[in-house]
Amino acid sequence: MKKLLALALSVCFCGITSQAVAHDKPQEPLLIIGASFANGTTPFNDALNAPLGGISVGFGSYLSLGDALVRERRLTGHVINEAQGGATTFDRIVCNPACDDSVSWQSYDKQLTKALARVTMRDANGDIVSINAKHVIIAMPNDCLHSDAFGVPQDEATPCTTDDINASIDRMIAVGQRVIDLGLTPIFPIPPKYEQLDLPYFQSAFGLNWAADKANYDELTTTRVDRIAIELPDAVQLDAWKRFTHLGDGIHPDRKSVKSAARIIARFIRKDSRQN
């Protein structure tokens, strides 16, 4: 009889604890925009046209940040992921092997518009009544990383100048400011260090004319982090990729790295939701 009572109490308290933990998790969906770190699949356009034939990173055997956040036990699994594998901050047509304006990626601003549409209630006049979200992940784009990230033939693409780098960051900051203006919090994962990648191997493996060298990559990432800190003080930058190992292709994170990044982001979101 005592054993049965103890078992019943154990089940009871376990159920209460589970309910409390579930209630403690952020309930609002997490919005995600970005490129292949956030979503390994390329977008399909009209007539089922797709960049790179619709291929996914690792032919589908890849855990993206968006997928990992769905599985993160600190969150409820509510994720709206509008990121596109291969995307840049600007609208870009396919130019590999030839340019085709019927096949394209969408800009970060358009990705954000789509993500917001999933969670926004409007009145009869079209004015926003409520947004069922608090946080937006704005992941690293392909801007300036390689010769196939410009929407022009590769032999016409040249490494980004300082002005090009700042133009890319302008677009990221504009999206972040739009998020803030809506009362939401943009989260920018800090990109991995150059030494954690193998961009020369990535270049050769994917048949690219060039990939960013260390000086160019460091200028791109350092300028981005510094400008976001100054120009978007209400944004959050997380060193989510500090434990980064690529999966063998020189650029995309392996499973352990992605799970670590998702854990860092989830911990912040849970803490921030408690405080707000």
In a domain, residue 11? The reply is no
In a domain, residue 4? The reply is no
pLDDT tens per residue across span 155-189: 999 999 999 999 999 999 999 999 999 999 999 99
Contacts of residue 73, defined as CB under 8 A and 6 or more positions apart, other chains included, come to none
**Gap between the Cα atoms of 177 and 185, Å rounded:** 9
Which positions of the chain have pLDDT values less than 50?
2, 4-21
**Gap between the Cα atoms of 108 and 82, Å rounded:** 9
Is 194 buried (19+), middle (13-18) or exposed (0-12) by CB count in 10 A?
middle
CATH code, domain with 92: 3.40.50.1110
Domain of residue 159: give its range: 27-275
Q: CB of 184 within 8 A of CB of 133?
A: yes
Q: What is the structure's pLDDT at 109?
A: 98
In a domain, residue 180? The reply is yes
Q: CB of 114 within 8 A of CB of 82?
A: yes
In a domain, residue 22? The reply is no
Domain count, the chain: 1
Q: What is the structure's pLDDT at 23?
A: 57
Q: CB of 188 within 8 A of CB of 138?
A: yes
Contacts of residue 142, defined as CB under 8 A and 6 or more positions apart, other chains included, come to 35, 36, 86, 87, 88, 149
Q: CB of 143 within 8 A of CB of 88?
A: yes
In a domain, residue 248? The reply is yes
In a domain, residue 6? The reply is no
- State if pTM tops 0.85: yes
In a domain, residue 146? The reply is yes
In a domain, residue 3? The reply is no
Q: What is the structure's pLDDT at 9?
A: 42
**Gap between the Cα atoms of 159 and 213, Å rounded:** 9
